[in-house]
């Protein structure tokens, strides 16, 4: 019997994708962004759902009739799991640094309350609440937001969150990217199961570059940028087409996982246009293995006219390591995601960013390119989500 889930703050469906891959059944997705909703509908159709237009609710979760709308959508079916991660800009350390009030007045601080309201109404067996690590240090009126969230989630659920253990890194689950996220798992109090059982079942498969030798035992080496994107067609800035005929070599475990057999179309591998000065910066940094500071020091001719340019404003993603955390800022510019091949002199395409997030090659991102980048940067990597889904499925089946 398939387990049913609802996805709140669904984005383009990275978390859902992991659950789909483990055979879970989606009852509803709730998301406010239009392009992300179109992506969710396209993906539901891909999986053979007949009612994507009804199941994807393009709606503001804070509205009073949210629960009525969800009830109407799921038509009395039982909800086994609720998943989701409220938008995290207000919790992120970057967001707080940019806002003179430290994001204190940001309404997004309270979106978790809408999550809890839906959770306590439907009373699923298990929930997954995903967020950025900045959540651990964010405060509101002098108290830590995380404590308040855990207290609210814990009213009707067993919650056993440990900030040492339960900040998980996507790189440990086969994603070619360092991405650390807070994962809070809750189990309904009447069940003979604990959150720790589920955490213990989220099995690391790969070691990451920060691990000590004694932690690597039995784990595979992390997946690198090279493993994920080196085979993709060579592009210069401004080149590429919306779809091209392309067959992956599928010559490593990662590619076998994310490229469906027989897939011979490559979507959204199109480079942005860059100004000539930036192209030179990208090429010099990639060729010499430089940081941006080293570039400024060694190539005065490539200095930036803007005074406020930080050391991490331009970053090359190196071939032999996982990528740094893919962020939604990609939609503004790709300077923090420079391609490691100096001869290409450009930033990452939508498809490259999608692969570094472990989205399968047949995953269609709807909307203009800026929206596609935003969706990818905000998503939970599907392979990471799948590791969580796998443990929940195993534990609920045993229960």
Catalytic site residues? 88
H helices of 318-368, in order, are 350-356
Nearest to 205 by CA among 388, 396, 6: 388
**Number of residues in the chain:** 399
Dihedral sign (CA 139, 142, 144, 145): negative
| Separation of CA 388 from chain center | 13
CB atoms within 10 A of CB 73: 18
> Is residue 171 classed as helix, strand or coil in its secondary structure?
helix
Radius of gyration of the chain, Cα coordinates, nearest whole angstrom = 21
**C-alpha to C-alpha distance for 71 and 67, rounded to whole angstroms:** 6
Name which of 356, 380, 334 is nearest 230 in CA terms: 356
Helix, strand, coil shares of the chain, percent, nearest 5, are: 40, 15, 45
| Strand ranges (E), 42-135 | 56-58, 81-84, 126-132
Tokens for 20, please give them. Answer: 């789909």
Q: For helices 14-21 and 382-398, give the axis angle rounded to 10 degrees.
A: 50
Contact 74, 118 (CB under 8 A): no
**Burial of 139 (C-beta count, 10 Å sphere; 0-12/13-18/19+):** middle
């Amino acid at each position: 019997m398939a387990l049913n889930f609802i996805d709140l703050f669904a984005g383009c469906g990275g978390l859902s994708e992991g659950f789909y891959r483990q055979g879970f059944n989606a009852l509803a997705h709730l998301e406010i962004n239009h392009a992300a909703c179109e992506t969710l509908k396209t993906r539901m159709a891909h999986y053979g759902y007949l009612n994507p237009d009804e199941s994807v609710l393009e709606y503001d979760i804070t509205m009073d009739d949210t629960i009525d709308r969800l009830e109407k959508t799921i038509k009395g079916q039982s909800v086994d799991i609720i998943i989701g991660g409220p938008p995290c800009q207000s919790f992120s350390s970057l967001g707080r640094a940019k806002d003179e009030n430290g994001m204190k007045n940001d309404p997004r601080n309270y979106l978790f309350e809408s999550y809890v309201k839906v959770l306590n109404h439907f009373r699923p067996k298990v929930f997954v609440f995903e967020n950025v690590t900045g959540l651990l240090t964010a405060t509101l009126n002098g108290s830590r937001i995380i404590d308040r969230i855990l207290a609210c989630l814990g009213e009707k659920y067993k919650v056993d969150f440990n900030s040492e253990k339960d900040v998980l890194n996507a790189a440990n689950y086969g994603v070619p990217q360092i991405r650390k996220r807070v994962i809070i798992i809750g189990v309904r109090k009447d069940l003979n199961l604990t959150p720790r059982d589920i955490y213990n079942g989220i099995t690391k498969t790969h070691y990451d570059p920060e691990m000590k030798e004694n932690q690597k035992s039995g784990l595979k080496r992390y997946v690198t940028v090279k493993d994920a994107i080196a085979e993709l067609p060579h592009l210069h800035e401004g080149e590429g087409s919306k779809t091209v005929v392309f067959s992956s070599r599928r010559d490593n475990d990662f590619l076998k996982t994310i490229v469906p057999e027989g897939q011979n179309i490559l979507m959204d591998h199109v480079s942005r246009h860059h100004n000539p000065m930036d192209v030179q910066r990208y090429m010099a940094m990639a060729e010499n293995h430089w940081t941006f500071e080293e570039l400024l020091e060694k190539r005065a001719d490539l200095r930036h006219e803007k005074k406020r340019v930080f050391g991490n404003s331009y970053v090359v993603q190196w071939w032999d390591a996982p990528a740094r955390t893919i962020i939604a800022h990609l939609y503004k510019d790709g300077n923090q995601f420079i391609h490691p091949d100096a001869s290409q002199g450009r930033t990452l395409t939508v498809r490259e960013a999608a692969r570094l997030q472990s989205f399968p090659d047949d995953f269609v991102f709807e909307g203009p390119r800026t929206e596609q980048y935003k969706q990818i940067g905000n998503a939970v990597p599907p392979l990471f989500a799948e590791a969580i889904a796998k443990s929940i499925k195993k534990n609920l089946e045993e229960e």
